[in-house]
């Protein structure tokens, strides 16, 4: 994991910072790309790990907020088109 | 307008050059072309595998940058903004080639893929959209508070909806770092939004 490439931010560190497999799982989970078995297994992991569960919740909500912003930007007519 | 020498311009960041260009210095645009034309060509070649197409796309990308200079906002790095325009043009060209039609890419204003990225909304909205506008304002403010490293990748992923591979290419980062930064950027954005909405402490 290229951790040295990550900028320092004042957020609580989680296992996602150091475990590439978990990062892959989280990414696929947020994108809705996990199989049922994988999703259940990941959710079981989250249920037992509070910090990671909290991080996932924030990432999910952040993603939804950005999707809303994207919708807003893409719905605006471009003056240069 | 205060005169700026070429030597001074050469020391500037891409974003500062873009601002100079927006304020009327065409020389700043020429410097951006010098900085990026080869890199852009190499980048586009990975999509097109055709040097002539790359030449056309590079030219068209810079034409779009020139024409759309006023729509650029520092919410995104200049290179991110420019590469996004280039990718959209390359995708558009690919679609047109697939349809086997011979039209020039700059003559299709109805093609949504062809439109330049617009990051700023300065329009006045009707009253019933006021609440939504306020939420969007908070979101944009929070996004601007993210570090540039995080902002770049979440904009490319969640606003521009590029693939992880494309983002890794543009940001010149390993895929794992891209994914990690996207997740962290999203989480940090949400944390900022939650802080906005926390009730203020009232001291007696």
Which band of pLDDT confidence, cut at 50, 70 and 90, is reported for residue A59? very high
Asked whether residue B16 falls in the same domain as residue B116, the answer is yes
How far, in Å, CA of A39 to CA of A25, rounded?
Answer: 9
Candidates B140, B186, B188; nearest CB to A9: B188
d(CA B47, CA B54): 9
Positions of chain B with pLDDT lower than 50, given as ranges: 100-107, 116-128, 200-204
* Domain assignment of residue B5, yes or no: no
pLDDT the model gives residue B107: 46
As a three-state string, the secondary structure of B135-194 is HHHHHHHHHHHCCHHHHHHHHHHHHCCCCHHHHHHHHCCCHHHHHHHHHHHHHHHHHHHH
What is the rounded distance in angstroms from the CA atom of residue B53 to the CA atom of residue A51? 49
Least CB-CB distance to A72: which of B136, B176, B177?
A: B136
Domain ranges in chain A are 13-75
Are B65 and B113 part of one and the same domain?
yes
Residues B163 and B111 in one domain: no
Instruction: Give me the pLDDT at residue B111, please.
Output: 53
Q: Which of B96, B120, B144 is the last residue of a domain?
A: B120
Is B111 inside any structural domain? yes
Closest CA to A27 of A66, A53, A56, A65: A56
Say yes or no: B85 and B125 in one domain.
no
The number of C-alpha atoms within 13 Å of B60 and in the hemisphere containing its C-beta is 24
Show the tokens assigned to B12.
């500037």
Any idea what the CATH number is for the domain that residue B22 is in? 1.10.1740.10
pLDDT of the residue at B24: 92
Count of domains in chain B?
2
- ipTM metric: 0.84
pLDDT of residue B115: 52
Structure tokens at B8: 């001074």
Is the same domain home to B98 and B138?
no
Residue B169 belongs to what domain range?
121-204
Q: Is residue B171 part of a domain?
A: yes
Residues B85, B163 within the same domain: no
B169 in a domain, yes or no?
yes
Pick from A2, A61, A76: CB nearest B123: A76
User: Is there a contact between B27 and B6 (Cβ–Cβ < 8 Å)?
Assistant: yes
A65 band by pLDDT with thresholds 50, 70 and 90:
very high
Res B147: pLDDT: 87
Q: Does residue B59 lie within any of the structural domains? A: yes
Residue B6 lies in a domain: no
Is position B7 within any domain? no
- Domain's final residue, options B120, B147, B174: B120
Task: Report the Cα B173 to chain-centroid distance in Å.
Answer: 17
Q: What is the pLDDT of residues A10-56, one digit of tens each?
A: 678 899 988 999 999 999 999 999 999 999 999 999 999 999 999 99
B66 and B139 within one domain: no
Please provide the DSSP assignment of B20-38 as one string: HHHTT-HHHHHHHHHHHHH
Which residues in chain A have Cβ-Cβ distances shorter than 8 Å to B177? Answer: 2, 5-6
Nearest to B154 by CA among B116, B180, B173: B180
In the predicted model, what is the mean pLDDT of residues A54-74? 90
B135 in the same domain as B38:
no
Q: Which DSSP symbol is given to B200?
A: P
SS (H, E, C) B34-50: HHHHHHHHHHHHHHHCC
**A51 close contact with B: CB closer than 8 A:** no
Last residue of a domain, one of B69, B88, B120: B120
Number of Cβ pairs < 8 A linking chain A and chain B: 124
């Amino acid at each position: 994991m290229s951790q040295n490439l990550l900028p320092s931010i004042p957020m609580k560190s989680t296992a996602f910072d150091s475990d590439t497999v978990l990062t892959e799982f989280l990414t696929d989970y947020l994108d809705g790309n996990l199989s049922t078995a994988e999703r259940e297994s990941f959710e079981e992991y989250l249920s037992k790990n509070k910090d990671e569960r909290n991080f996932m919740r924030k990432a999910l909500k952040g993603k939804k907020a950005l999707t809303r912003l994207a919708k807003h930007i893409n719905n605006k007519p471009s003056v240069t088109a | 307008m205060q005169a700026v020498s070429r030597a001074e311009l050469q020391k500037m960041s891409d974003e500062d050059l873009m601002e100079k260009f927006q304020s009327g210095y065409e020389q700043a645009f020429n410097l951006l072309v010098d900085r990026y034309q080869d890199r852009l060509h190499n980048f586009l070649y990975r999509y097109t595998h055709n040097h002539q197409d790359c030449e056309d796309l590079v030219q068209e990308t810079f034409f779009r940058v020139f024409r759309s200079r006023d729509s650029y906002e520092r919410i995104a790095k200049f290179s991110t903004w420019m590469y996004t325009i280039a990718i959209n043009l390359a995708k558009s060209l690919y679609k047109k080639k697939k349809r086997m039609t011979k039209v020039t890419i700059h003559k299709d204003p109805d093609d949504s893929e062809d439109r330049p990225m617009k990051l700023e909304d300065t329009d006045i909205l009707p009253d019933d959209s006021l609440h939504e506008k306020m939420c969007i304002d908070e979101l944009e403010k929070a996004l601007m508070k993210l570090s540039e490293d995080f902002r770049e990748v979440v904009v490319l992923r969640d606003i521009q909806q590029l693939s992880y591979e494309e983002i890794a290419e543009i940001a010149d980062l390993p895929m794992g770092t891209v994914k990690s930064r996207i997740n962290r950027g999203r989480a940090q954005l949400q944390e900022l939004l939650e802080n906005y909405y926390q009730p203020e402490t009232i001291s007696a």
